[in-house]
Amino acid sequence: MNIRFLLSLVCLLGASLSAQVTHDRMLHADREPQNWLTYGGSYSSQRYSLLTDITRDNVRNLTLKWVWRPRYLDKMETTPLVVNGVLYTVQNSEVVAVDAATGRAFWTFRYRVPPESNAYLMVVKGLAIAGDRLFWASYDGHLIAIDGKSGTAIWNRTLLDYKKGLQLNVAPLVIKDKVILGPSTNEYGTNCWIAAYDVRSGAEVWRFKTVPEPGERGNETWPGDSWRHGGAPIWVTGSYDPDTNLTFWGTGNPNPGWNGGPRNPGDNLYSDSVVALDADTGALKWHYQFTPNDEFDWDAVQVPVLADLEWQGRPRKVMLWANRNGHFYVLDRVTGKFLLGKAFVRQNWNLGFDETGRPMRSPRAKPSAEGTYIEPGTQGGTNWYSPSFSPRTGLFYVSSWDNYSTISRLAAVGPWTEGRKYTGRAPAGGGGSAGAPYRTEAEGYGAVRAIDPKTGEKKWDFKMVDYTESGILTTAADLLFSGGREGHFFALDARTGELLWKTNLGGTVASGPMTYAAAGHQYVAVSADNALYVFGLPD
C-alpha cells in the first residue's frame, strides 16, 4: 500500500484513527499499515507489512534517518510500537515516546530497575498499548501502565519477586480489556505462568500455570515433587485468533534443564509446548508439546505465527512454528492437530514423528557425564527471534542456526536452592559450538531460511558466517529485512533471497525489524547493539 493511497484512507477513516487504540483497531491492524500496534505487528504475529513505498528497485537508496540511543549499554532486543506518528519504545529503565519521523522525544518515563534483579538478562522485548495506555513489564517484575500522552505512571503492579529467580522480559499482549504476559526464569527452577491483568486497574483476571500442581491435569507428567521446580518460563509474546478467541503462547524448558533425573520419567507438561488458552478465562483448550522431557534447553520460546493456508485442498487455519529443537511445524490452530513436522536444520535426536505428532527421541540423545554430541546445539535451530510469514510469497522465514553442542550432565543434580541456578549441567567440558569466524560451514553457520510451509522444504538460504539473533520483517513489496551478529542489517528479495541492500550498524542486530509510515514516508526500524536505527528513502 503506497503512502498516497494510505493518506486518503486515513482521511476516510477519520475518527477511527484517533489516538485511542481500540480492540477493533487491533483486530484490523492490516487496515492501518502505517502503524505497528503489537510486538508482532498484528495478532497473527506474521511481522508482515502492507507498506510498499520501499520497493525492490529503490531499497538500495535507503539512508539513515535518525537514531535513538538510550542511556544504557545493554543489548537492545526491542521492537517499537508506532501509533499515529508516535513511536514508543523501551530499553532498560527508560520508556520513550518520540516523533516517528524525526526521532525527537515527546516524553521519557524513567523507572529504576534494581540492577541486582537480573544482571544477566537485562533485556526487554517491547511494550503493548490499549486505548492511550502503554504497558511495560520490567525485568524486576513490575507491570506498569503508562499514560501514552504524558509519560506518567497510571498504575504499577508487582507481579513477582525477582529474588525467587523470576523476571519479566516479554512484550505484553493486549486482548480486549486484558493485558497478558508471563514471567521467565533463567534456569532457577521457579515455576512460571501466563496471566491476564485488567488494563484499567492491573488486577489479575486469570492465571494459567505452565507447570500444573497436584490435582491439575498434566501434573502426572512430573514424578514425585519434581513439579515444584519445573520452570517452563515465558520469554516471548503470544498471538491471538479472534475467530476462536484463543491466545497462543510458547513455553520454555523444564528445570533442571540439562539433566532430567528428578523429572524422569515424564513429559513434564507444559514445558516446551504451545498452549492455546481462552482469552477471556485462561482455560486450556489444547496444547502441543514440541520436546517432551527436554534435556537440551530447547524452549518453545518462539512467537506463534498464524496463517490461513490452502492445506491439502481445503482452507485451514494453521499455526507455523520453527522450534528451537530444529524442526518446523504446522499445527491446526483450532484443534491443535499436528499437520507437519520436518527438520529445518541438521538434527540427530529425533527419529521421526508418530501419528499424533510426538517425536521419537533417539536413545542416544541423552546428556551424559562424558558429554553427548547433539544437533542442534543448546542455542537451538532458532531461538526467540521473530520469524515472518508473507501471504504474498506463501513462504515462512526464520533465522536459523545450523550448530551443535556437547552436553555434559552432573551425576547428581543436587538440592534446589532458591535464587540459585538449577541446571544439572556440568560446569566444565560442556562443549559448545565453535565460535565464528573460525569455524567452517560444516561446523555451523547462521542463515535467513525461507521455508515452504506446505511441505517444510527449504526454498532458499541467505547464509552468514556468524549466527543471527535478528528477527525478520517482510513487506508486500516482497522485501525481507533482517540482520545478525555480524552487525549487518540488510534487505533481501523475499522470493529469491537475493541481497538488495545492506549497511553495518557496528553491533549485534538482536531485534525484530518493523516498518511504519509517518509524515508521508515509509520507514524501517531495527534495534541493534544498544540503539534504535530508523531508515527511509531520501527526501
Which contiguous run of DSSP H or E holds residue 458? strand 457-464
* Under 8 Å between Cβ of 231 and 220: no
Asked if residue 97 binds another protein (CB under 8 A), the reply is yes
- Binders of another protein in range 16-35 (CB under 8 A): 19
| Choices 101-109, 267-275, 330-338, 475-483; region in contact with another protein by CB under 8 A | 101-109
Asked if residue 85 binds another protein (CB under 8 A), the reply is yes
| Choices 97-105, 206-214, 215-223, 282-290; region in contact with another protein by CB under 8 A | 97-105
| Choices 96-104, 362-370, 403-411, 438-446; region in contact with another protein by CB under 8 A | 96-104
Asked if residue 104 binds another protein (CB under 8 A), the reply is yes
Among residues 317, 238, 244, the alpha carbon closest in space to that of 285 is found at 244
Asked if residue 105 binds another protein (CB under 8 A), the reply is yes
Choose, by CB under 8 A, the member of 26, 51, 86, 492 that binds another protein.
86
Question: Which residue is it, cell 556440568?
Answer: 426
Asked if residue 101 binds another protein (CB under 8 A), the reply is yes
307: cell is: 496463517
- Binders of another protein in range 120-149 (CB under 8 A): 147, 149
Least distance from C-beta 157 to another protein, angstroms?
A: 9
* Under 8 Å between Cβ of 228 and 235: no
**Residue 205 φ/ψ region, left for φ over 0, alpha for ψ in the -120 to 50 degree band, beta for the rest:** alpha
Among residues 151, 209, 150, 143, the alpha carbon closest in space to that of 178 is found at 143
Asked if residue 204 binds another protein (CB under 8 A), the reply is no
Q: Which amino acid is at 512?
A: G
- Cα separations (Å) of 261 from 268, 383, 423? 12, 25, 11
> CA torsion 480→483→488→494, rounded to 10°?
-20
Residues whose CB falls within 8 Å of the CB of residue 469, separated by 6 or more in sequence, listed in order: 77, 383, 385, 399, 484, 485, 508, 509, 510
The dihedrals phi and psi of 183, each to the nearest 5 degrees, come to -90, 165
Least distance from C-beta 20 to another protein, angstroms?
A: 11
Look up 452 and say whether it is catalytic.
no
Catalytic residue among 297, 402, 466, 493: 297
Q: How many residues bind another protein, per CB under 8 A?
A: 20
Asked if residue 71 binds another protein (CB under 8 A), the reply is no
Choose, by CB under 8 A, the member of 63, 150, 201, 362 that binds another protein.
150
Nearer to another protein by C-beta: 18 or 368? Answer: 18
Asked if residue 353 binds another protein (CB under 8 A), the reply is no
Asked if residue 63 binds another protein (CB under 8 A), the reply is no
- Binders of another protein in range 430-449 (CB under 8 A): none
- Binders of another protein in range 152-171 (CB under 8 A): 152-156
> CA torsion 217→218→224→229, rounded to 10°?
-110
- Binding residues vs another protein (CB under 8 A): 19, 84-86, 97, 99, 101-102, 104-107, 147, 149-150, 152-156
Residues forming the active site: 297
